[in-house]
Amino acid sequence: MQYRNVDILAQETVADSGTKSIDLDVTDPITELTVILDLKNGAAKVDEHLPTDVVTNIEIVDGGTVYASMTGAEAAAIFTYQTGHYPIHWFSETLSENQSATLPIRFGRFLGDPLRNFNPTRLRNPQLKVTWAKNAQHLTAYVKLTVKARLMDGEAGAASCLLTKGVRSFTTAGSGIESTELPTDYPIRNLYVRGYVAGACPRNVLSHWKLDCDEGKFIAFDMSGEDMQNEVERIYGLFEVRQNVQASNADKIQAWLGSVYSGSGAIAGGAYTTQFWASANPYGVIYGSDYNGAAFDDQKVEINGRGSLPHSMFAVPFGLPDDPATWFNAAAYRKVKLILTQGAASADCSILVQQDRPI
């Protein structure tokens, strides 16, 4: 098989916020579509504002039909679960420095899957819609957008593909139960749930999980948030996220992992000893001093954090990842409900499903 990498949208400077619709008018099937956002920091430290968060929505549409939808942070987390590594990125808090996020969306069980890929010729007017809004700390008039596609040159294209779509978003309360009906029209390969609020562990934000089919006829899972995290870690393992931060001794550093277990920190320039201390929270603490024992202050520090739940997102797989016959046949039930118990207030919660969907 020959891949052909094409620019659907060559790098273009866009407005500081907006929505851009890009025609997917290629004739070969797409195995991967990638959104790349580049921006630049302003004249002061940019504290915890990533380019992933600048991308507020990515959609694949055809007329009034939405086939896929997710935020930038969700796209990064989903790719991490699919591949075992975080996508290419450059995160930096340093003033006047560039930042970038690469957000790939895969349509098959693996790259180049001949049986699951996105065939745009089956639709009337397929489009990719990207919505973004930079933070006030990012430089004005310096947002750049690129869209690339990896095509399967010469392939006939599949009749279906894996599409991830948002089901619901809400803000959590400090307690109580939120029940959400999941779609039952197509088989579900993965369930993704994000519960993010700065400083809070996702396992506590969503303290209990239950998937109920037809009012108790079948319970797919019924477990605490901590047990769900343990399940996710046993299946997917741990990931690493790298970033440059502007920090002083004993500062808390957001790791962009829902639970960070270890990491390292290195100060750019000078003679310093550093330690990145983590204890299964979404952040670690950086400690360091120069060789005379004086604590460092306001330095550029390279951080590598290692942990689970990228961008505070859980992934719940159904069946064997490469065997469609084992995926969750939601159509066998009249009603499928995800029942989440809330344990922390003001968290951004989103529920997405990856479905095996005909095009």
Confidence at residue 155, expressed as pLDDT on a 0 to 100 scale: 87
Residues 14 and 69 grouped into a single domain: yes
Q: In the structure encoding, which two tokens stand for residue 154, read together?
A: 């010469």
Closest CA to 94 of 125, 56, 139, 153: 139
Q: What is the pLDDT of residues 2-16, one digit of tens each?
A: 889 999 999 999 999
Task: Out of 158, 180, 200, pick the residue that ends a domain.
Answer: 158
Range of the domain at 351: 160-359
- pLDDT > 90 fraction of the chain, expressed in percent and rounded: 94
Residues 232 and 138 in one domain: no
Tell me which of 158, 178, 200 is where a domain ends: 158
The pTM of this model reads 0.96
Per-residue pLDDT averaged across 95-117, rounded? Answer: 96
Tell me the Cα Rg of the chain: 21
Claim to verify: residue 198 and residue 65 sit in the same structural domain? no
Q: What is the pLDDT of residues 145-158, one digit of tens each?
A: 999 999 999 888 99
Number of separate domains in the chain: 2
Instruction: Give the per-residue pLDDT at 136.
Output: 95
Which domain-ending residue is among 129, 158, 187? Answer: 158
The answer, yes or no, to whether residue 18 has pLDDT greater than 80, is yes
* Same domain? 11 vs 153: yes
Has residue 290 got a pLDDT over 90? no
Q: How confident is the model at residue 268 (pLDDT cuts 50, 70, 90)?
A: confident
The whole-number average pLDDT for the span 33-54 is 96
Specify the range with the lowest mean pLDDT, choosing from 216-230, 260-274, 337-351: 260-274
When the pLDDT of each residue in the chain is averaged and rounded to a whole number, the result is 96
Question: Is 214 a residue whose pLDDT tops 80?
Answer: yes
Answer yes or no: do 72 and 104 share one domain.
yes
- Considering the domain architecture, whether residues 233 and 304 belong to the same structural domain is answered as yes
Same domain, 134 and 212: no
CATH number (domain holding residue 292): 2.60.120.730
3-class secondary structure, 191: strand
Residues 145 and 175 in one domain: no
pLDDT for 303: 95
Say if residue 269's pLDDT is above 90. no
Which pLDDT score is estimated for 156? 87
- Please indicate, yes or no, whether residues 67 and 204 belong to a single structural domain of this protein: no
313-317 and 65-70 beta bridge pairing:
unpaired
Place 308 in a pLDDT band, splitting at 50, 70 and 90: very high
pLDDT at 1: 65
What pLDDT shows up at residue 144?
98
Give yes or no: residues 142 and 210 share one domain. no
Question: Which long-range contacts link 234-239 to residues 24+ away (Cβ below 8 Å)?
Answer: 235/315, 235/317, 236/81, 236/84, 236/308, 236/315, 237/84, 237/308, 238/306, 238/307, 238/308, 239/80, 239/84, 239/85, 239/86, 239/306, 239/307, 239/308, 239/310
252: tokens are: 């808390």
**Whether the predicted pLDDT of 320 surpasses 90:** yes
- Whole-number pLDDT of residue 154: 85
Same domain, 126 and 190: no
* Same domain? 60 vs 95: yes
Give the pLDDT confidence score for residue 253 in this predicted structure: 95
Q: Provide the CATH number for the domain around residue 28.
A: 2.70.9.10
